[in-house]
Amino acid sequence: MSRSHATRFLVILVILTAAALLLPFAANRGLVFLAGVIAINVVLGLAFNLLFSTAGLLSFGQATFSASGAYAAALLLLRAPEVPFLAVLVIAAATGAAIAFAIGFVALRRTEGVYFAVLTLAFAELVHVIIAKTSFFGRNDGLTGIQRPRIGPLDLAQGNAYYVFVILVTALLIAVLWWVTHSRLGRSFRAVRLDPMRAAFLGIDVRRRQLEAFAISGACAATAGALMGPLTSIVSPDLAHWGESTKPILFTLLGGAGHFWGPLVGAIVFSAVEYGTRSLAGASDLITGGLLLAVVLAIPGGLLGLATLGVRRLQARPAAPSEAALPLAPAASKGETL
């Protein structure tokens, strides 16, 4: 990883975090709550994209990981309030990593194409059924009455304290995911994605790398999920429903899978669309579906891909005006601009 790359990332992260932390001064409580949910969703999107764009695995079961973190944290907060919240987050991350490891261990026997996607979907629904039908997990009602915790002397129930905490943990998770993506480990993930056989010849243990990617993605998603319970005061089986698994995919493709920040852009735009159409039953599905379809068919690089292309064309215009008139090349969809 080059130093200028890391510096640019840190600058963007600091600006975004600062903007999120300043939001309560400009927006009402409803929007601040929404921003907290979006922050969690950003991590879920980035964790998915670590698998999708870096490791080349299409997981349709990400909800399992976020839900396992959410339930682990909720159970600890309700039944064992003496456990410190930071320890709760670590336990949630470990739970997510363990479940991701277990599912990955079985599902990674079939990594090609739709088989892997459907296997992860099947395991996710398996977990969903178990959560929704077991009284330990509160069945269909879920677990309610989750309080915002204390961290030492800090009471996160006060004012916007919990929101600030969510933003800080989110920023930390984003940094972890960026570091993994650009580390030696992330490069070996990419080598496995681009050509598993060549990677194997070069001495990379392909299955182990894929399992590691799965466990890291699961741990990050579970930590983000763990933040959800105290924010909304409830965790329900809906968190594990396969519809939740598709959300990180939507964020990623909408924002641009080829960019690290793609899922963040996608999560914000998606949430804005959903917020704007929340009173119209059906319209939000229609708009989300139409938007996603348009992205896949017309701008496979996502919104950031489109923006990058636009910037390049603007820069190229004085030198080669004819190039700007070229239609979108399909090859641009696979462009690596990390």
Partner 1 sequence: MLADLPTLLFNTLIWGMATFLVAAGLTMIFGILHVLNFSHGGFFMIGAYVAHSLANWSSAMANIWGFLLASVITAAVIGAVGLVVDRAIFRRLAHVDGAYVLVATYALLLVCNGVVKLIWGLNVVSASPPPELFDVSFLGNLVLPHYSIFVIVAGLAVFLALEWLINMTSVGRLIQAIAIDPWMARLLGINVGLIYSATVIIGFALAGLAGGLLVANQSLSPDLAGIFIIQAFGVVIVGGMGSIRGAFLASLLLGLADSFGTALLPQMPGLFFFVALAAILLIRPRGLIASGRLS
Rounded-to-integer distance, Cα 262 and Cα 12, Å: 13
Rounded-to-integer distance, Cα 133 and Cα 234, Å: 17
Choosing from 81, 159, 276, 290, the residue that interacts with partner 1 (CB under 8 A) is 290
User: What is the chain's alpha carbon radius of gyration, rounded to the nearest angstrom?
Assistant: 20
Closer residue to partner 1 in complex, CB, 48/163: 48
Is there binding between residue 52 and partner 1 (CB under 8 A)? Answer: yes
Residue length, the chain? 338
Q: How far is the CB of 66 from partner 1 (least distance, A)?
A: 18
Closer residue to partner 1 in complex, CB, 90/118: 118
For 109, how many CA atoms within 13 A lie in the half-sphere containing its CB? Answer: 6
Q: How far is the CB of 198 from partner 1 (least distance, A)?
A: 19
Long-range residue pairs from 90-93, CB within 8 A, at least 24 positions apart, any chain: 92/68, 92/222, 92/223, 92/225, 92/226, 93/69, 93/219, 93/220, 93/222, 93/223, 93/226
Is there binding between residue 306 and partner 1 (CB under 8 A)? Answer: no
| Backbone dihedral angles phi then psi of residue 234, each to the nearest 5 degrees | -145, 145
Choosing from 30, 113, 152, 153, the residue that interacts with partner 1 (CB under 8 A) is 113
Contact status, residue 219 vs residue 225, Cβ threshold 8 Å: no
Select the span of 39-47, 72-80, 108-116, 218-226 touching partner 1 (CB under 8 A): 108-116
Contact status, residue 218 vs residue 65, Cβ threshold 8 Å: yes
Closer residue to partner 1 in complex, CB, 122/211: 122
Choosing from 242, 332, 335, 337, the residue that interacts with partner 1 (CB under 8 A) is 242
Residues from 122 through 181 that contact partner 1 (CB under 8 A): 122-123, 125-126, 129-130, 133
Q: How far is the CB of 255 from partner 1 (least distance, A)?
A: 13
Contact letters for partner 1, residues 197-236 (x by CB under 8 A): ----------------------------------------
Residues 6+ apart with CB under 8 A from 189: 50, 54, 55, 56, 209, 210, 212, 213
SS3 23: helix
Residue (of 152, 97, 99, 148) closest to 124 by Cα position: 99
Q: How far is the CB of 117 from partner 1 (least distance, A)?
A: 6
Is there binding between residue 278 and partner 1 (CB under 8 A)? Answer: no
Closer residue to partner 1 in complex, CB, 140/147: 140
Residue (of 13, 76, 66) closest to 40 by Cα position: 66
Is there binding between residue 276 and partner 1 (CB under 8 A)? Answer: no
Rounded-to-integer distance, Cα 143 and Cα 137, Å: 7
Select the span of 163-171, 205-213, 248-256, 261-269 touching partner 1 (CB under 8 A): 248-256
Is there binding between residue 102 and partner 1 (CB under 8 A)? Answer: no
| Backbone dihedral angles phi then psi of residue 38, each to the nearest 5 degrees | -60, -45
Q: How far is the CB of 246 from partner 1 (least distance, A)?
A: 6
Closer residue to partner 1 in complex, CB, 22/130: 130
Q: How far is the CB of 124 from partner 1 (least distance, A)?
A: 9
Size of site (CB under 8 A) for partner 1: 44
Residues of the shown chain interacting with partner 1 in the complex, contacts defined by CB under 8 A: 52, 58, 106, 109-110, 113-115, 117-119, 121-123, 125-126, 129-130, 133, 242-243, 246, 249-250, 253, 281-293, 296-297, 300, 330, 333-334
